[in-house]
């Protein structure tokens, strides 16, 4: 698994995801996590408030599809990464 994708996976899932990826069975959650990270980086550079809200809504839907709640450590790390 490339280093940039490995960082998107929570520690407790890295080994399992790596095995699946090596077997050609990348889990769909990995793509969702990657999209969340990309949207978060985009959100950090957006100046239009309407566009920022649209991106935020998309991020909320994606996070909910993964079962991520705002009180989880991964959600907090994802939210803080590019906006520091």
Per-residue pLDDT tens over the stretch 40-57: 899 989 999 999 999 989
Residues, the chain: 84
* 81 vs 74, higher pLDDT: 74
Return the H-helix or E-strand segment holding 33.
helix 28-45
Q: Could you say which DSSP state residue 9 is in?
A: S
Checking if the pLDDT of 8 tops 80, the result is no
Mean pLDDT for the chain overall: 78
Nearest CA to 1 out of 16, 29, 31, 21 is that of: 21
Tokens 């050609």 correspond to: 24
Q: Which residue has the tokens 């978060």?
A: 40
């Amino acid at each position: 698994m490339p280093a940039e994708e490995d960082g998107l996976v929570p520690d407790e899932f890295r080994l399992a995801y790596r095995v699946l990826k090596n077997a050609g069975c990348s889990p769909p959650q990995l793509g969702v996590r990657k999209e969340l990270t990309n949207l978060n980086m985009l959100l950090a550079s957006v100046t239009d408030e309407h566009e920022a809200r649209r991106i935020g809504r998309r991020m909320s839907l994606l996070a909910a599809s993964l079962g991520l709640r705002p009180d989880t450590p991964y959600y907090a790390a994802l939210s803080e990464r590019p906006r520091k």
